[in-house]
């Protein structure tokens, strides 16, 4: 049994949740999110002020997906109410990033700049060496932050690269001279 699946999710004022043929739509002040769910495995009950669910079958996969579905619904409700944010830091001499149209340009020590397409539902804010990614879909925000970080991860000898604000890079000593 899933502890997260058994939990009721309250729906705040100004947010509406609707289920239509396996597609859950959440509308709130920040925007609208839609996601497909397999309603053959999990029965989702939407009332005026809360969302509950229960597995239809009693097998291992249904119990595993039960908590995942409720977690997704909760993130959709939270995202439509207030946007999710991820903050990244870039460190290194000459390392920089800038937004050019619908692309993020990264100069991180390669012989060429790296361009990453920015999804339409995300907004980027750049302040010196900090990049703030915000949007209503938690998955999209995290996925884009991961793509940016993957271009040049922080390395352990000098600490150069891209990292999350709260990430700590364990430093190594390097070679000792004889």
Would you list the DSSP string of the chain?
--HHHHS-EEPPTT-EEEEETTEEEEE-SS-EEEEE--TTTEEEEE-SSEEEEEESS-SHHHHHHHHHHHHHHHHHHHHHHS-EEEEEEEESTT-EEEEETTEEEEESSSSS-EEEEPPTT-EEEEETTEEEEEES-HHHHHHHHHHHHHHSBPPTTT--EEEETT--PPP---PPP-
Same domain, 90 and 130: yes
Reading the chain (178 residues) residue by residue, the pLDDT tens digits are 678 888 899 999 989 999 898 899 999 999 999 999 888 888 999 988 899 998 888 888 888 898 899 999 999 999 999 999 999 999 989 999 999 989 999 999 999 999 999 999 999 999 988 999 999 999 999 999 999 999 999 899 988 999 999 999 888 888 887 6
Structural domain count, the chain: 2
Same domain, 107 and 72: no
* CATH code, 130: 3.90.930.12
**Domain coverage including residue 128:** 84-164
Q: What is the pLDDT of residue 173?
A: 86
pTM: 0.88
Is 17 inside any structural domain? yes
Is 169 inside any structural domain? no
């Amino acid at each position: 049994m899933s502890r997260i699946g058994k939990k009721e999710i309250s729906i705040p004022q100004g947010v509406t949740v609707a289920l239509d043929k396996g597609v859950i739509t959440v509308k709130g002040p920040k925007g609208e999110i839609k996601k497909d769910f397999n309603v053959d495995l999990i029965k989702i009950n939407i009332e005026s002020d809360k969302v509950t669910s229960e597995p239809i079958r009693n097998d291992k996969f249904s119990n595993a997906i039960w908590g995942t579905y409720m977690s997704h619904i909760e993130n959709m409700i939270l995202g439509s109410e207030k946007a999710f944010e991820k903050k990244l830091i870039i460190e290194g001499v000459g390392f920089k990033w800038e937004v050019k149209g619908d692309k993020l340009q990264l100069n991180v020590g390669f012989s060429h700049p790296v361009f990453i397409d920015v999804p339409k539902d995300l907004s980027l804010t750049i302040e010196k060496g900090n990049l703030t990614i915000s949007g209503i879909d938690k998955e999209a925000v995290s996925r884009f932050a991961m793509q940016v970080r993957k271009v040049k991860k922080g390395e352990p000898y000098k600490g150069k690269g891209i990292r999350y604000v709260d990430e700590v890079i364990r430093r190594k000593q390097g070679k000792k001279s004889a």
